[in-house]
Amino acid sequence: MNRFNGKTVLVTGGNSGIGLAAAKAYAAEGARVVITGRDTATLEKAAAEIATDVVALRSDAASLHDAKHLAEVLNQKGIRLDAVFINAGIAKFAPFADVDEALWDQIFDINTKGAYFQIQALLPILNKGAAIVINGSINAHIGMPASSVYAASKAALISLAKTLSAELLPQGVRVNVVSPGPISTPIYGKLGLDETSLDATAKQIQAQVPLGRFGTPEELATTVLHMTALESAFIVGTEVIVDGGMSQL
């Protein structure tokens, strides 16, 4: 399929995990791809892997300045966007009693405030008919211990997609959320667990998925491409859950 021939797509956090898989899938379907992240080395590596028409830009999702700068740079390059995957995010877990303001701010600044102001900054360079997908999480729906801040930061994105859809649809922009269950990406390695605890955590998580396994970044990418393709113009202001049945338990 070449559903994105002649289209330009931005994937935030396109240098790793789900974002990288989505960026590659868009490129494989003909899109010019813009990827962002903070780490320049992995951005360059990702750009080389995506290979075709790709622009890699360093941009911190937690920085309002960076969000505006990103939109300015793209505008200067004459780039207008047909699809945006707001994917950059972090996961950190801590028991409720241990959560402090710094942890709350770090998670919300990237996952929630970042999504909000990146969309606001990008609005002037969106083409009519543009589709935005925000990466949420199944944690918004399940009561997993120690996930209170992360879960709240992701749950807010569902309301954001609904309200923005109501507001932006008249301008030809639709907004949705994809909520993944556990997907095997480097995010788990960033939790600060030693190898034994990481292994035990992975087994625990896997046991909670009726399908009996983690999802792959490519499976997520398939859904994101579908949600942003023209064929899905009727998917508006809603959430698509991709979780191997986890939220059914």
Helix, strand, or coil here: 174? strand
Place of tokens 């622009």: 55
Per-residue x/- marks for ligand NDP, 52-81, CB under 6 A?
Answer: --------xxx-------------------
Look up residue 214 and give its DSSP letter.
P
Site for ligand NDP in 94-133 (CB under 6 A): 110
The single residue among 50, 56, 91, 241 that binds ligand NDP, judged by CB under 6 A, is: 91
The residue (of 37 and 237) whose beta carbon lies closer to ligand NDP is: 37
- Answer yes or no whether residue 137 interacts with ligand NDP by CB under 6 A: yes
The residue (of 38 and 162) whose beta carbon lies closer to ligand NDP is: 38
Q: What are phi and psi of 142, to 5 degrees?
A: -115, 150
- Answer yes or no whether residue 228 interacts with ligand NDP by CB under 6 A: no
Count of Cβ atoms closer than 10 Å to residue 85 Cβ: 30
Tell me the C-alpha distance between 4 and 9, whole Å. 9
What lies within 8 Å, CB to CB, of 178 at 6+ separation is 133, 134, 135, 136, 220, 223, 224, 227, 239, 240, 242
The single residue among 1, 2, 5, 39 that binds ligand NDP, judged by CB under 6 A, is: 39
Strands across the sheet with 174-180, in order?
54-58, 32-37, 8-12, 81-86, 126-135, 174-180, 239-242
- Answer yes or no whether residue 244 interacts with ligand NDP by CB under 6 A: no
- Assigned token pair, 125: 């360079």
Site for ligand NDP in 165-204 (CB under 6 A): 180, 182-183, 185-187, 190
- Answer yes or no whether residue 147 interacts with ligand NDP by CB under 6 A: no
The single residue among 4, 7, 10, 17 that binds ligand NDP, judged by CB under 6 A, is: 17
The single residue among 7, 8, 9, 13 that binds ligand NDP, judged by CB under 6 A, is: 13
Contact footprint for ligand NDP (CB under 6 A): 13, 15-19, 37-39, 42, 60-62, 87-91, 110, 135, 137, 180, 182-183, 185-187, 190
